[in-house]
Amino acid sequence: MVLQINGILSSEKIILGIDPGTTVMGFGLIKVVNKKMELIQLNELNLKKYTDHYVKLKHIFERTIHLIDEYHPDEIAIEAPFFGKNVQSMLKLGRAQGVAMAAGLSREVAITEYSPKKIKMAITGNGNASKEQVAKMLQSLFKIKEMPKNLDSTDGLAAAVCHFYNSGKVTTGKNYTGWDSFVKQNAKRVK
């Protein structure tokens, strides 16, 4: 994609991928130059030391803002919550995702969310792949010598790569370009 920034044509794009969580938030940043990906960062925000859920949400928001301000991503790809049996866990995960999305929206960064199945399919060709299989594919793709202990960071990177693979295609992911866009697409959720 050719971008025009301050009148200068550029084929560079930075994508921030986020795997939201209230125990560990994984993230990966890639730079795309002339349709080739380059790994910028693969990391995680470990929230295990915090017991208060609201403090965790604050740290998720602050780290996401920090990443946006430091790397200036053009787009954010975020993993959508999966449907599980534990309602409390799903609520906490949804809050974590919402806080990360709010950080992006507050900086006017376009956000697309992808289901875990779609991300796995984009990376491995199998929507039911394990986290380990996704991590191995990413390790091979980016020639990563030392992989992180937690696979949350590779899940965040996988979201960014999935978004790159889906750039220019019609996707079933939900796109938000700012708060107004979010409200328009989710009128029933906002009062």
Binding residues for Mg(2+), by number, are: 19, 79, 152
State which amino acid sits at residue 8. Answer: I
Annotated binding site: which residue ranges?
A: 19, 79, 152
CA distances from 104 to 6, 68, 76, 132 (A): 21, 7, 7, 28
State the catalytic residues: 19, 79, 152
Could you tell me how far CA 123 lies from the centroid of its own chain? 14
Q: With contact defined as beta carbons under 8 Å apart, do 5 and 63 qualify?
A: no
Number of other residues whose CB lies within 10 A of the CB of residue 27: 27
